Structure formats: C-alpha cells, structure tokens
C-alpha cells in the first residue's frame, strides 16, 4: 500500500465521520425550529394532535438537556447519576451480547451441520422474535428466582442479561448461518479432496466466509442488547440501571422534561458505545471482512 493511497483512505474516513455529525446538527436544528414555530399546545385537527406540545414539560430546549447534567440529584449531580447507571447497563448489555453471540453461533453451526436441524429449528428461531419482550421479562424473572447456580441464588441482573441475549441471538444466528452456507460447492469439494473433514472445513473455510455476514449481525446485536437491557430493567423493576433511571426521571418531569430527555440520550449513547466496541473487533477481522475473500482464507 502506497503513502498516497493511505492518505486518501484517511481523508475518506474523515469525510465519513462528518456525515453523522452533520445529521446530529440537523436534528438539533429541526428540534429548535419545532420548539420556536409550533404553538405551546401543539397543533390539532379535530380531536387528533398532529404536532406535539412544545412546552418545557414536553419538549425542552436542546441546551437545557445539556445544562441539566450539572444539576443536583440528591448527593450527586444528574450527569454523575446517568454515568453510574449507564455503566451498570453497559456491563449487562455487554454480557448479553457475548451470551447471545455464543448461543447464536452455536445454533448456526448446528443448523449448518445437520440440514434436518435447520428445517426443524429455523422456523422456531424466527417465531421466537414475535414474542413481546415486555411479556417475556416477568416469566424469565420468575423462572430465574427458582434457579440456583453453584449454590448461589439467581440474581436479578442475570434475568436482564438473559432477556437481552434473547434479542441478540437471532440476528447472530441468521447472519452466521447465511455466512456458513456461503462458500461455493467447488471450494468445499476442494478441501474434501485434500482429506479435510467437517471440522477442518468449518475452521478454514466456512467460519472465515461467515465473517462478512457476522459483523453486520453483531452491530444489530449490540443495539438489541442495549434495548433489551433497558426494557428488561423497566419490566422487572431492577434498580441501578439507566432503564430504571428513565422511569424515575419521567416521574419528575411534570415541569421540565430535560432530565428525562438526558436519560434517553444517555441510553442511546450506550448503543453507540457498544457498536463501537464491535467495530474494534472488525479491525482484527479485517482480512476476512470482504466478501469473496473465502478462497484466500481457505488457502
């Protein structure tokens, strides 16, 4: 790789970073424009409100969401509270991402190995995602309360991890299965002609070929892990996370919703952080991250 191509790649990535920044600035501009132009009571046609209310209790200014971080919240500030609760939720979401990825990849390998397992199991994997998470959370918490692991009782945070992993395993399983089935028949037969068994073919051909399909699935799984953790915290009533903090701030937002919006933004940033961690994994798997690299991986 020449110096010129390296410089061009850096410049291109620099322009790529400007797009999300520009989108964020545009969002803030639209937010403030709505705040300035829409009446405080919103706009309604008949009994149907088509534009939201713009009072501080419903739609605070963007800068109010930032300045509220310095307000006192008991013995600490709102920003410190959000940082602490977001860290707790991030840990659970990361555990859920790992657990969901392991389960999803294991199911994908099993379905690729045995076609009858794929025909029998895949429909249920798809149907599993139609179960509402808010209905599943109390069941998992109830079942977990009867489980003892190595003499230690089930902890509430374990239920959150299981519930969030439930959302993660689906995209990982589908993406990995598609990747494992992507190598051409000629490539598979070439390895078989070299006396490579199923395990060697999996390691040297199918898994490298699955990487371009797995990485986008992991990005979806990272976002799903955060969503699942927040919803599970709210549904199970578990304290200490950003999900429960959203409920607390929503009960305090009668006059000013800035704290509530700050908590929601903090939850959204968790998804970006976890997706960023997945992007770090892409650096180590860069050689396999392009479709069509299967042949090189096989060699």
Per-domain boundaries in the chain: 1-64, 71-298
**Contacts of residue 241, Cβ cutoff 8 Å, sequence gap at least 6:** 85, 88, 89, 92, 160, 229, 230, 233
Whether 7 shows a pLDDT value over 50: the answer reads no
pTM confidence score:
0.84
Question: Is the CB of residue 92 less than 8 Å from the CB of residue 158?
Answer: no
Q: What is the pLDDT of residues 63-106, one digit of tens each?
A: 888 888 888 877 889 899 999 999 999 999 999 999 999 999 99
Fold for domain 71-298? MetI-like fold (1.10.3720)
Q: What is the pLDDT of residues 244-284, one digit of tens each?
A: 899 888 887 666 788 889 999 999 999 889 988 888 877 77
């Amino acid at each position: 790789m020449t110096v010129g191509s390296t410089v061009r790649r850096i410049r291109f990535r620099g322009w790529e970073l400007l797009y999300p920044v520009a989108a964020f600035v545009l969002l803030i501009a639209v937010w403030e424009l709505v705040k300035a132009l829409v009446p405080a009571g919103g706009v309604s046609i008949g009994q149907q409100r088509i534009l939201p209310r713009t009072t501080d209790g419903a739609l605070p200014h963007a800068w109010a969401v930032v300045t509220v971080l310095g307000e006192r919240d008991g013995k600490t500030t709102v920003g410190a509270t959000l940082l602490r609760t977001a860290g707790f939720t991030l840990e659970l979401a990361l555990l859920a991402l790992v657990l969901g990825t392991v389960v999803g990849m294991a199911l994908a390998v099993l379905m690729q190995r045995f076609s009858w397992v794929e025909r029998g199991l895949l429909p249920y994997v798809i149907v599993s995602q139609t179960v509402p998470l808010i209905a599943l959370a109390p069941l998992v918490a109830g079942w977990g309360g009867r489980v003892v692991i190595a003499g230690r009782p089930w902890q509430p945070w374990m239920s959150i991890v299981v519930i969030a992993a439930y959302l993660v395993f689906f995209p990982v399983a589908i993406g990995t299965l598609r990747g494992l089935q992507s190598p051409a028949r000629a490539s598979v037969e070439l390895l078989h002609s070299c006396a490579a068994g199923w395990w060697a073919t999996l390691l040297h051909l199918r898994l490298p070929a699955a990487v371009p399909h797995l990485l986008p699935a992991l990005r979806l799984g990272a976002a799903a892990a955060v969503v699942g953790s927040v919803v599970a915290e709210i549904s199970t009533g578990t304290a200490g996370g950003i999900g429960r903090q959203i409920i607390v701030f929503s009960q305090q937002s009668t006059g000013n919703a800035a704290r509530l919006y700050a908590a929601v933004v903090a939850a959204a940033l968790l998804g970006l952080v976890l997706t960023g961690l997945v992007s770090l994994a892409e650096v180590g798997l860069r050689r396999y991250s392009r479709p069509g690299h299967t042949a090189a991986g096989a060699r």
